[in-house]
Amino acid sequence: MGVAKKTRKFGQTKRLLSKRDSRRKENVTKSEEANAAKAAAGASNPSGELRKEIPQLPSSLFFQHNEALVPPYQVLVDTNFLSHTVQRKLPLLESMMDLLYAKCQPIISDCVMGELEKLGPKYRLALRIARDERWTRLPCDHKGLYADDCIVDRVMKHRIYLVATNDKDLKNRVRKIPGVPIMSVARGKYVIEKLPDAPI
């Protein structure tokens, strides 16, 4: 048998602190100065409480209920939602109306159309569904074709939309916006989160 090769040991070099490390003397004094400045700013507040800025919510939100959501519902459709709809062989408009018990208006933005065109021939059925003349087209005035940012931006400005998506990241971003329901495809049908009951 031959001699076994010795593997090189990693991590045996001398470890040095970087210039920006908080454990160095110069940086410790800088952080103390920053803390003192924060304390001085807090002292200028007469009550001594920390102020936290909360973004102003639209007046249509009453507690957790969004009263701006009324039929016919306007549904912002994402690329992922269209591809899952095609996989499950669901009719888009009829399935939405079965879920919400009301008239729906699917809205497809230019970003979603651009994403579907970029994805190529694999998503040609989803692209054909998106090009249907019954759906409303929403022009986008921003640069790029990233639909998630476009959808979140529109929903933040106007709380009159439902968001139809199966993308986990987009769902998490939309969940942080109060009063915006999320529609998705699950187990061969459409499901919805957070649609409030009608006020009595």
What domains does the chain contain, in order, with CATH numbers? 70-193 (3.40.50.1010)
The answer, yes or no, to whether residue 76 has pLDDT greater than 90, is yes
**What pLDDT shows up at residue 199?**
47
- Say which residue, 64 or 55, is predicted with more confidence: 55
What gap in Å lies between CA 22 and CA 60, rounded to an integer? 47
**Mean pLDDT confidence for 135-152:** 90
Nearest to 163 by CA among 88, 34, 66, 91: 66
* pTM for the whole structure: 0.68
pLDDT recorded at residue 99: 93
Which DSSP helix (H) or strand (E) runs through 110? helix 110-119
